[in-house]
Structure formats: structure tokens, C-alpha cells
């Protein structure tokens, strides 16, 4: 299960990052021309995703109405003002740095490897990295070279998110789909991981027609590729269940490998083991489960005695994989795309039946939920219960334009994004600009 990390000791000799240099361009100690085997470099691109995991988990749930911070200055996550810049060292800096390192490693494979599968995996990882970056920061610098110029400052200029979607993320995922097989091997990127992620990207930018096409392919091809919902919701999570049949792609985590994120990890934050938020569970999420009586997901997701989440159990915590995409998420996105494209409530709600049945609750009645708007709300409610503490909620609210309605307050849209690390702005002498409001 940890095959991706076998060569990391060797890879560490290839990529060393100086704290004095801009993090998106760590110096490449070994020239790519001296390499003939790029498996280790590809493994590095996988490995660097680890640094993005906990920041993404915290941003996705603690910024939303699922969880909250108790200790200042971390309470800035719930204030929606300029104070989040104080969180750079623990969240935004490691996130930004790790993803650009993954991108640089992926670029090296894409430019120099002769193995089509390696290139496909690298393009998937590059797309995934930029997708995370634009959802968190909006416009960001783009580097598509294994050897970026150290003197060309223009490469540091932030590019509009729309351009990054159209010129990098979508083409990379399309290339990955063409290059990769449908079978998931050792948890690595596969055709359906790329296709499912492309569907998520299209939903993000509001292209529901393209999203439906991609997601339908995953839903219809799942059985043949060994992808299926776990019979029991609890069996999706926990170290013993890593890489189960529902997991289409996960960032693999191992306690034997030190990653760049040196703080409390995602399972500690959700479980209330960090003093900054010992009882992180928002009452609003408890109320959401109260509105779904008999829901088997409740005991897995929330603990009202400790007001925390046991979803990623503390036993085996340092070895929990971080789920980037699972089949239930694909099904929910597919239902959303169908609804936005005008399918009947009956057809859309039927797609959700397996998820509702597994959760031990009645399937939704299309005679009651008989309009696009009602079905839209039902899907978003289902996403919240199904995916809570998986780093999805805040990004769903922003994507669907429901931040104010669901958070119960008017929030300046400037704070839908997070602050660019101040260290990057300063190190670039202002070529990299800060997001408005920070």
C-alpha cells in the first residue's frame, strides 16, 4: 500500500528546496539529462501532495459551517477578514510550497520520460495540483517547465484561474484519460481518477454538460474496473480500509515517511486533538444530522459527547490515506450535473438511491422534491452529510454560490479565497500579488 514511497530516499537527493528561494521553483540538483529512469521523480510528485492534505482539510471544513476554531488567532477562520495571513506558516505556506514542488516533479517527468503511463500520471498530478491551487487562491503563477528560468520574473505573475483551467488543468486531465488504464494499480492515478476529477473541474466552472459526460463514464464503467460503494459507510474510512473499492484516488499517507507538513495532521484536527480546537464540531452540522433520523453516517461522522469527528479514527491515524476522490462523490456530482442539465427529478433522485440506502435512510421522493431547485438543495444537503470532514464543504458552498445562505451571514466575496503566502509576495518583490482583502 505504500509502494509510491520506496524510492523517496533517492528522490530526496534530487530535489532539495532552499528556504531562501521561491518555493515554486526548488532547485533541481541532478540534471534531467543525467536521468534515464523517472519513476523516482514521479513518486516525488505523488509524495509532495502530502503537504497539501491537512491545509485542504482545514480550509474545507473549518472555514465552513462544519467545524470551528477555538483558540486565537486561528479563530480568524470564522471571522472573514484580513487576519488569515497570520496562518501562513501552518496552512497556506506549506500548501503552496508542496503543490509547486509536485508540479515541478511532474514537469520533469512530462518533459523527459519516454513512458506514456508515467507521463499520464504526471499530468494527472499536475492538474490536481493546479486545481487545488486555483480553488484556494484563484489566480496563481503557472510553471510548465522542468527548468524554469531563474531570471525571468514574468513567470511569477499570477494567471487568471479561467486561463489555468482551459490551458493546463483540463488539457492535462484529458491527456491523462487517454494515457492511463481504467484499473487502479497500487492506488496510483487511473483513467477514472482523471475522468472523475475532470467532471469535478467542469462542475467547478459551471460546464454541466461536459461534467455529465465525464461523470457518466465513471459511473457506467465502475463495476468493470472494480469501483463500487462499500456496503457499510464506516468501511470507507480508517487505516485498515485504505484503498478500498470506493476510493478512486487518495493521497497515500505513511507514518514511516516524514512529509513537509510538520504540524497536527487532518485526523487530529477533526478529532479535536489539537488545542486550537478541542471541540471543533459545529452545532449546525449536528442539526443537519438531526434532520436525517436513523442516518448511519452520523455515528461515523460526529460524536456529540466530544463535539468532534471520529471519521478518521485516531487508531492508525498517522497512516490514514487522504481521500481525494471516492465513488460516492462521483455519484453525487453526477446527480448534480443531471439536475442542472434539466433531467427529471425522478431520474436525478434515483441516482442517489444507493447512497441513501447505504446510509439507512429512505430514498428521496420525487413527488415531494418535484422541482430543479428542491432537488438542487437535496443534493447539496446529501453532499454535506456524506462528505463532512473530507475537506469539501467550503469549496462546495463557494462553487454553488450558497455561502451566505448556508453560513447564515453576508460574507464579503473577497474572503471566498484564501491569502497568498506573504513570504511569496515579499520574495518576489511584489511580482506575485496578494488577493484582495488581505
pLDDT tens digits, 302-343: 999 999 999 998 887 789 999 999 999 999 999 999 999 999
Q: Can you tell me the distance from the alpha carbon of 31 to that of 148, in angstroms, rounded to the nearest whole number? A: 13
What's the confidence (pLDDT) of residue 354? 98
What's the confidence (pLDDT) of residue 69? 96
Distance of CA 307 to the CA centre of its chain: 24
Instruction: Tell me: pLDDT of 150 over 50.
Output: yes
Nearest residue to 128 via CA among 249, 221, 32: 249
Q: Can you tell me the distance from the alpha carbon of 75 to that of 371, in angstroms, rounded to the nearest whole number? A: 39
**Alpha helices for 206-344 (secondary structure H):** 208-221, 266-270, 283-290, 297-301, 327-340
Instruction: Tell me: pLDDT of 20 over 60.
Output: no
Instruction: Tell me: pLDDT of 9 over 80.
Output: no
What's the confidence (pLDDT) of residue 19? 31
pTM of the model: 0.93
Task: Count CA atoms within 13 Å of residue 280 on its CB side.
Answer: 33
Contact in structure between 215 and 330 (CB atoms under 8 Å): yes
Instruction: Tell me: pLDDT of 7 over 90.
Output: no
**Whole-number percent of the chain with pLDDT over 90:** 86
What's the confidence (pLDDT) of residue 35? 60
What's the confidence (pLDDT) of residue 254? 87
What's the confidence (pLDDT) of residue 214? 98
pLDDT tens digits, 102-129: 999 999 999 999 999 999 999 999 999 9
Q: pLDDT band at 34, cuts 50/70/90?
A: low
Q: List, as own/partner pairs, every contact residues 420-424 make where C-beta atoms lie below 8 angstroms and the sequence separation is at least 24, other chains included.
A: 420/92, 420/96, 420/137, 420/140, 421/23, 421/88, 421/92, 421/93, 421/96, 421/97, 422/85, 422/88, 423/88, 423/93, 424/22, 424/23, 424/24, 424/96
What's the confidence (pLDDT) of residue 317? 73
pLDDT tens digits, 389-432: 999 999 999 999 999 999 999 999 999 999 999 999 999 999 99
What's the confidence (pLDDT) of residue 216? 98
Mean pLDDT of 203-224: 98
Average pLDDT score over the chain:
91
Instruction: Tell me: pLDDT of 13 over 80.
Output: no
- CATH of region 3-250+257-427: 1.25.40.390
Lowest mean pLDDT among 19-33, 63-77, 295-309: 19-33
Nearest residue to 245 via CA among 155, 127, 330: 330
pLDDT tens digits, 365-377: 999 999 999 999 9
Nearest residue to 50 via CA among 262, 213, 242: 262
Lowest mean pLDDT among 237-251, 253-267, 374-388: 253-267
Mean pLDDT of 232-259: 93
Q: pLDDT band at 31, cuts 50/70/90?
A: very low
DSSP state of 431: S
Mean pLDDT of 129-156: 95
Q: Can you tell me the distance from the alpha carbon of 155 to that of 243, in angstroms, rounded to the nearest whole number? A: 37
Amino acid at each position: 500500500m505504500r509502494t509510491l514511497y520506496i524510492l523517496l530516499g533517492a528522490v530526496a537527493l534530487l530535489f532539495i528546496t532552499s528556504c531562501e528561494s521561491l518555493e515554486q521553483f526548488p532547485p533541481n540538483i541532478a540534471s534531467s539529462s543525467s536521468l534515464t529512469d523517472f519513476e523516482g521523480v514521479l513518486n516525488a510528485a505523488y509524495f509532495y501532495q502530502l503537504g497539501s492534505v491537512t491545509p485542504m482539510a482545514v480550509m474545507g471544513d473549518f472555514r465552513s459551517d462544519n467545524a470551528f476554531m477555538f483558540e486565537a488567532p486561528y479563530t480568524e477562520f470564522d471571522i472573514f477578514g484580513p487576519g488569515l495571513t497570520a496562518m501562513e506558516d501552518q496552512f497556506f505556506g506549506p500548501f503552496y510550497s508542496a503543490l509547486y514542488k509536485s508540479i515541478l516533479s511532474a514537469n520533469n517527468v512530462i518533459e523527459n520520460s519516454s513512458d506514456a503511463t508515467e507521463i499520464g500520471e504526471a499530468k494527472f498530478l499536475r492538474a490536481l495540483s493546479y486545481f487545488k491551487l486555483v480553488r484556494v487562491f484563484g489566480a496563481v503563477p503557472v510553471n510548465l517547465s522542468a527548468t524554469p528560468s531563474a531570471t525571468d520574473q514574468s513567470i511569477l505573475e499570477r494567471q487568471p484561474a479561467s486561463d489555468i483551467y482551459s490551458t493546463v488543468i483540463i488539457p492535462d486531465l484529458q491527456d491523462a484519460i487517454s494515457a492511463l488504464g481504467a484499473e487502479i494499480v497500487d492506488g496510483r492515478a487511473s483513467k477514472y481518477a482523471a475522468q472523475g476529477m475532470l467532471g469535478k473541474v467542469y462542475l467547478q466552472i459551471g460546464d454541466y454538460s461536459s461534467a455529465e459526460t465525464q461523470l457518466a463514464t465513471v459511473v457506467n464503467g465502475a463495476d468493470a474496473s472494480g469501483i463500487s460503494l462499500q456496503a457499510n459507510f464506516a468501511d470507507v474510512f480508517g487505516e485498515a480500509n485504505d484503498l478500498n473499492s470506493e476510493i478512486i484516488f487518495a493521497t497515500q499517507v505513511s507514518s514511516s515517511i516524514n512529509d513537509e507538513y510538520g504540524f497536527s495532521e487532518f485526523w487530529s484536527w477533526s478529532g479535536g486533538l489539537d488545542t486550537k480546537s478541542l471541540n471543533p464540531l459545529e452545532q449546525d452540522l449536528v442539526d443537519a444530522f438531526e434532520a436525517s433520523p436513523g442516518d448511519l453516517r452520523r455515528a461515523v461522522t460526529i460524536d456529540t459527547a466530544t463535539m468532534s469527528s471520529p471519521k478518521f479514527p485516531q487508531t492508525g491515524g498517522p497512516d490514514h490515506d487522504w481521500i481525494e476522490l471516492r465513488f460516492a462523490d462521483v455519484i453525487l456530482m453526477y446527480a448534480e450535473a443531471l439536475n442542472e442539465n434539466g433531467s427529471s427529478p425522478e431520474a436525478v433522485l434515483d441516482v442517489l438511491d444507493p447512497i441513501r440506502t447505504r446510509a439507512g435512510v429512505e430514498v428521496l421522493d420525487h413527488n415531494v422534491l418535484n422541482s430543479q431547485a428542491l432537488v438542487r438543495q437535496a443534493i447539496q444537503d446529501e453532499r454535506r452529510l456524506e462528505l463532512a470532514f473530507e475537506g469539501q464543504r467550503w469549496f462546495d458552498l463557494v462553487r454553488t454560490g450558497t455561502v451566505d445562505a448556508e453560513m447564515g451571514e453576508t460574507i464579503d466575496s473577497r474572503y471566498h479565497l484564501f491569502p497568498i503566502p506573504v513570504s511569496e509576495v515579499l520574495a518576489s518583490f511584489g511580482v506575485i500579488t496578494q488577493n484582495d482583502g488581505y
